[in-house]
Structure 1
């Protein structure tokens, strides 16, 4: 998922209104699931566009239900959600990105889910964690996202690289070999700065044993493990293996296709982009797990489906979410979007069970990590974004940059 920067001013302006509006709607039974009614649903980005088709299919088997899906762009999603929550006008069902849920659960805008219907063990651990806050679960995992390594196999042969990098040390050696022996302009594409640079940094951070927050919400971004991870990350820029300046909207697949970038970390949707846009590249690339430092750990992303605390259609909303989150619904959603299913049982049959590349994604998801849901998570990660950029641009040493981020995050938690 892509998330916009947190609009702190909006949050502060509406905080008191949220206390009055979002917390008051969860008491009544509302409309029965079998009554004639309209469910309102907000979904973001591509998911918002694709979900309307699923809703039409759902209406055919649930003739009493009309599902009104409103697509919302990720660039405006946060502002629209805050405004709607303040006015007590959130839709019945809302897609919650991983960085949003803690904020809106803390506001009292979301209804805790029925954990007898939706069971923790059915979903990837990180996906369930993203949907939980303060000891309760407020969302049903819908799809998951992680990052793995994409690499050019044909250029690897020219560089004398016989297997994908297994360790972080191997990764840097491979980047050097691609440049020196295969003639690539860069060795590895990673983000040098700007919004959400932290998402590019997560595989290095988590594999080194570092994290931004402990599970109880304590900032630990300047731990020795995190400092070592940022040293490693920054070394790609100081050695000329990664580009220091990447233009807004940069599409790494173009440079992957022309051979100037031989490796990058990317999400599952990139496989379809490569197949669709660069058919001549087929057979010349592969994916591999994140190279291990202390271990091989990638970031966990994705989205959950939540019910508004103010909804008068909670039983019908619960049924609709069940339809989307069960094994059949998850497999159908994968075919429509290529979003990876959050329900683990969906991976036991069909393409998800047999495709060699997809097996890599599943293994990576089993160990993927995510920060605990926190109301100010986007503000915390923005401080880490800034620290990373200071290092990649040569303006600060890793420890000094992360010490500053730690201090700033601690200030936000007081």
Structure 2
């Protein structure tokens, strides 16, 4: 998921339950002029663009009237819980990828597998393998990947070349070497920005070093593969090539002589750099992540699911199939800059002919979601507290990870 999406649940379930009557399924599914009303809940900024796509769907399906409700991410989770408890909610709902285990275990999401023959757009082979994992639960397919994001390396090509790198660093060793050389350009300069509050970063590096994170229900956070990865990540702070508390907007840090000439982020940064720093055209690029044992990146995004208690499941399946068409996904990218989940959509010129976006398609071949288990968010927050002690120098790596592993065991149990 995008970082901005992973927010704390703020609203009270009791308060939200009173709001359902005006926005959930109307019970009989009848709309104007005999149409079926399909209620769709979307989250965040993406949902604001969804009605434009819904209008095109309605032209192809004049017997269906789509009503889109945009929910803030920070209240959506509680609202969905209320819908599950009352068995009254939307027909189609956007699901953050980390929410799938919780709502699937509550039997709130329709299994799409029996419907894939009738709606071939929903078949697994249309999507990247890593994205399919986010929509699977105990053998069921409880959603389709809608849009996805992954993390790649952004870098200033001109400044990397000035320290001897005509191409992006390809290995952990090269990334560390390039960052240290860039940091030596002068006082107040760094080699790379590594957001210590980005919870997926440490886990991503650990996977690149061969860590399974959790194996057979047992956390692996004090095993050599994980420990070595955190030591490597921490080395950027200890050798001064990454700042701890700079507090500088990343695009500003990327401009000019670049206080921050490298950083790891998602696809939304392409548009931000093009819009806010047009003078950098030809001086920056994206690259797949450097490799240790592999170069696995984090995979986020959102899925579309059908509410198990919907009375309009056939219409909802038509909508999911429409949203999964490559041409629909390509149009969605042009509207929102959200990466398509279907492989065929990446053949659209808007993606295929843009070198920076093309890199994201390459990285998707080596991208995996965080472990899809209900307590993962709690484990991730515990990791952030642990890593803060490490990078601020108030705790040593191995003892802190031993303590974190014990906390994770307790959370899992």
TM over 0.5: yes
Contact 1:101 1:130 survives alignment (8 Å): yes
Matched residue, 1:223: 223
Kindly state the Cα deviation for residue 6 of structure 1 after the two structures are TM-superposed.
5.5
Matched residue, 1:175: 179
Change (3 A) 1:69 1:142: same
Q: How does 1:285-296 map to 2 (within 5 A)?
A: 285-296=284-295
Match of 1:139 among 117, 121, 143: 143
Q: Which runs of 5+ in 1 are unaligned?
A: 18-27
Higher RCO (CA-CA < 8 Å; seq separation 6+):
1
Three-state SS of the structure 1 residue aligned to 2:345 is: helix
Matched residue, 1:337: 336
Matched residue, 1:105: 104
Change (3 A) 1:347 1:217: farther
Q: How does 1:299-378 map to 2 (within 5 A)?
A: 299-378=298-377
Matched residue, 1:276: 275
Match of 2:253 among 252, 255, 271: 255
Contact 2:7 2:73 survives alignment (8 Å): no
Q: How many residues align?
A: 394
Q: How does 1:1-400 map to 2 (within 5 A)?
A: 1=2, 2-5=4-7, 7=9, 36-113=35-112, 114-116=115-117, 117=119, 118-181=122-185, 185-193=189-197, 197-214=198-215, 217-245=217-245, 247=247, 251-258=249-256, 259-400=258-399
**Aligned-CA RMSD value:** 2.7
Could you list the runs of 4 or more consecutive aligned residues of structure 1 that deviate by over 4 angstroms after TM superposition?
Answer: 5-11, 28-31
Three-state SS of the structure 1 residue aligned to 2:304 is: strand
Distance 2:203 2:250 in 1: 18
Kindly state the Cα deviation for residue 246 of structure 1 after the two structures are TM-superposed.
5.3
Distance 2:12 2:386 in 1: 25
Distance 1:244 1:252 in 2: 14
Change (3 A) 1:46 1:413: same
Distance 2:287 2:126 in 1: 25
Contact 1:160 1:177 survives alignment (8 Å): no
Change (3 A) 1:56 1:76: same
Kindly state the Cα deviation for residue 223 of structure 1 after the two structures are TM-superposed.
2.3
Contact 1:132 1:373 survives alignment (8 Å): no
Q: With structure 1 as the length reference, what TM-score do the two structures score? A: 0.88
Kindly state the Cα deviation for residue 178 of structure 1 after the two structures are TM-superposed.
1.0
Q: Which runs of 5+ in 2 are unaligned?
A: 18-26
Distance 1:165 1:358 in 2: 18
Three-state SS of the structure 2 residue aligned to 1:382 is: helix
